[in-house]
Amino acid sequence: MIPTKVAATDFLEQQRIAVAGVSRTPGGSHGGNPVYTRLRERGYEVFAINPHAEEVEGDHAYPSLAAIPDGVDAVVIATAPNDADQVMQDCVDAGVTLVWLHRSIGGGSASATATALGRDNGITVINGGCPLMYGEVSDFGHRVMGTVLRLTGVVPKQV
């Protein structure tokens, strides 16, 4: 087990990040859209995964992780929890070693089975919170939310 802050720092040091579950609705409040657009704005090479869209947030969308040319370094899963297991299996198959299961208020993408699948296959899995709560991609609102979610146990202290 490592502190979540350390895992978050490692995650955000990656440059090619896929976000699974980005909505077709531009600017949507769904967790995947703000993560996708903020990472893109901060200079990351991001890839939207949505099997039901050809384009999201003005960019090409990929139907699956396997469809992204040259793979990625890390994945944010911002899907419904019942879809998280399949995305995690895709991460295992692709050799991804860093995965973030997005969760703020409510269930988010948190999935005990996806977390176990990833960890059983050597993936560092952050099960809760949001990348936008950490480092240079954060903003005031996300930092406050992160503090509250850490205090209430929604964001784990260690992963």
Report the distance separating Cα 12 and Cα 6, nearest Å.
10
The per-residue pLDDT for 21 is 93
User: What mean pLDDT do residues 94-108 have?
Assistant: 88
Report the distance separating Cα 43 and Cα 54, nearest Å.
22
Domain ranges of the chain: 4-151
Please state the pTM of the whole predicted model. 0.95
Fold of 4-151: Rossmann fold (3.40.50)
